[in-house]
Amino acid sequence: MRTPRTPERFTDENGAELVRVPLAKDAGFATVHADDYDRLIAQGMPSQWSINRNAKTGPGYVKAAVSRDNSRVIARAIVGAGLKQQVSYRDRDRLNLRRENLRVTFGGRGRYDVCSQLERAQKIAEWLEGGKSVEDAGAPTSHTVAAVPA
């Protein structure tokens, strides 16, 4: 008989309300902010999560099965990552799903953090206003300029 996996709510040392979600096959626990967890559940995300580890891909990602043939990566759902966007983990711990640990980056070689991308665009604008060329500003490649949010 299976033991039910019940998420546990707790408050961390900084006073943040968190949820510790047990993963399938005793693979540990994922930690997420309570408001993010509640939002995902309200949107229909299952509360039973797992991690997809295998020898080829190394450490896996925390996922939830939304149908028999489809699963969603929880980190992507938390930050609302879209097509061609990747989610990276600031502390490299894929079980730490706290929003401040998740960073949205744009795909491709030499990924750029959204924040640093915006700073780079502002730097270019300042250089151009000062009459300097884009090359002097250390401009990003053409595929990253298009990715700067308006």
Closest CA to 32 of 72, 91, 63, 78: 78
Q: For the chain, give the percent of residues with pLDDT over 90.
A: 47
pTM of the model: 0.68
d(CA 57, CA 138): 34
Mean pLDDT, to the nearest integer, of 119-140?
60
With 0-12 / 13-18 / 19 or more C-beta atoms within 10 angstroms meaning exposed / middle / buried, residue 88 is: middle
> At a CB cut-off of 8 Å and minimum separation 6, what does 66 contact?
44, 45, 46, 72
Closest CA to 72 of 93, 54, 88, 50: 50
Mean pLDDT, to the nearest integer, of 32-52?
94
Q: What are phi and psi of 95, to 5 degrees?
A: -95, -10
> Using 50, 70 and 90 to split pLDDT, how confident is the model at 52?
confident
Residue 31, token pair as written in the block: 């930690």
Query: Higher model confidence: residue 141 or residue 24?
Result: 24
Task: Please give the mean pLDDT across all residues of the chain.
Answer: 79
